[in-house]
Amino acid sequence: MEVFLQQCVNAISLGGIYALLALGLAVVFSIVRLINFAHGEVMTIAGYAIWLALLSSVPVVAAIILGITVAMLASVAMERIAFRAMRGASVTSLLITSFAVSEIVKVLFQNGISARPVPIVLPAWMSGSINMGFLTISVMSLISIIVVAVSLVALSVILTRTTLGVAMRAAAEDFPVVRLVGIKANHVVALAFAISGALAGVAAVLWVAQRGSVDPLMGAAPVLKAFIATVLGGLGSLSGAVLGGFVVGAVEVFLQGYLPESVAPYREAISLSIIIGLLVLRPDGLWPAQNVNRS
């Protein structure tokens, strides 16, 4: 029972990171139909920003805020430089553009800093654990869960209480009509990328804190999982992305915890098979977008 609860905490904490990343992908996809494979690089950029800040003896909290801000700006800059020129292009063209952006950023870090991981040292209390009677929770897991919860609440406030947030939800449904009422398309798209980048930045902070290092390929693996999560949840659906993130995280953690050692090497294959199975049962995803009434 204790082990099970422990695994639940781990599943929520890992799933939460996937949920943030998946949400970032879904927010952008729902509006500009771009599957942004450079999303992982936004995470990497945030990681290096934190590394650089700590190296320059910036206090930890400030370094974290800086990392998230840089991720947000990087995401908006990617849209300005690469994706805006491609607006209205086919999904395939957009996808290839995002691969190009992703490769360019990776190569810049490999050649500009190092292909090998650089260490990030966070305060000792972050790597400790809290004993709650029969349950021992690592501080990092607890922080992850709280941060994810706060981020999700903040996002839902933006989407329901601010004009541009409501416009974003409307744009996911019918972008031309949002422009018809006078709301500037570029503002809505920029907000989507800013939110997406900030979420990637938050995910990067949690990811880096758990692993203690940054490398040029850091974002690739978690964003791939997040992409699986968005498809599982229903491409373009925000609630689906969050649900998908938690499901992917849970499948990963529980397989890691309970799979016998002899089949452990097949963990990824088994987890992807489970997800394929879920998609066979629900081809539109677990929580599909309400109305994708565009061609």
Partner 1 sequence: MLSVEGLVVRYGPIEAVRGIDFTVNRGEVFALLGANGAGKSSTLAAIAGLVKPFAGRITYDGKPVSGLPPETLSRAGIGLVPEGRRIFASLTVAENLWLGGAAHGSTAERQQLQKEMEERFPILGERARQKAGLLSGGEQQMLAIARALMARPKLLLLDEPSLGLAPQMVEKVFDLIAAMRKEGLTILLVEQNVPMSLQIADRGIVLANGHIVVSGTGVELLHNSDVTNAYLAA
- The residue type found at 98 is S
Q: By C-beta, is 142 or 170 nearer to partner 1?
A: 170
Using CB under 8 A, list all residues that contact partner 1. 163, 166-167, 169-170, 173-174, 176-185, 290-291
Q: By C-beta, is 101 or 235 nearer to partner 1?
A: 235
Answer whether 160's CB lies under 8 Å from 238's CB: no
Strand partners, 130: 137
Could you tell me the smallest distance in angstroms from the CB atom of residue 36 to partner 1? 23
Answer whether 241's CB lies under 8 Å from 20's CB: no
Output phi, psi for 269, to 5 deg.
-60, -40
Q: By C-beta, is 50 or 183 nearer to partner 1?
A: 183
- The residue type found at 109 is F
Residues whose CB is less than 8 angstroms from the CB of residue 79 and which lie 6 or more positions away in sequence, other chains included: 189, 190, 193
Could you tell me the smallest distance in angstroms from the CB atom of residue 97 to partner 1? 22
Could you tell me the smallest distance in angstroms from the CB atom of residue 68 to partner 1? 28
Q: By C-beta, is 109 or 175 nearer to partner 1?
A: 175
Q: By C-beta, is 262 or 291 nearer to partner 1?
A: 291
Could you tell me the smallest distance in angstroms from the CB atom of residue 109 to partner 1? 37
Could you tell me the smallest distance in angstroms from the CB atom of residue 223 to partner 1? 27
> How far, in Å, CA of 227 to CA of 216, rounded?
19
Helix (H) or strand (E) holding 137: strand 135-138
Answer whether 280's CB lies under 8 Å from 272's CB: no
Could you tell me the smallest distance in angstroms from the CB atom of residue 152 to partner 1? 19
The torsion angle over the Cα atoms of residues 194, 196, 197 and 203, rounded to 10 degrees, is 150
Q: Radius of gyration over alpha carbons of the chain, in Å?
A: 19
Q: Helices (DSSP H) in 33-90: which residue ranges?
A: 39-55, 60-78
Q: By C-beta, is 209 or 289 nearer to partner 1?
A: 289
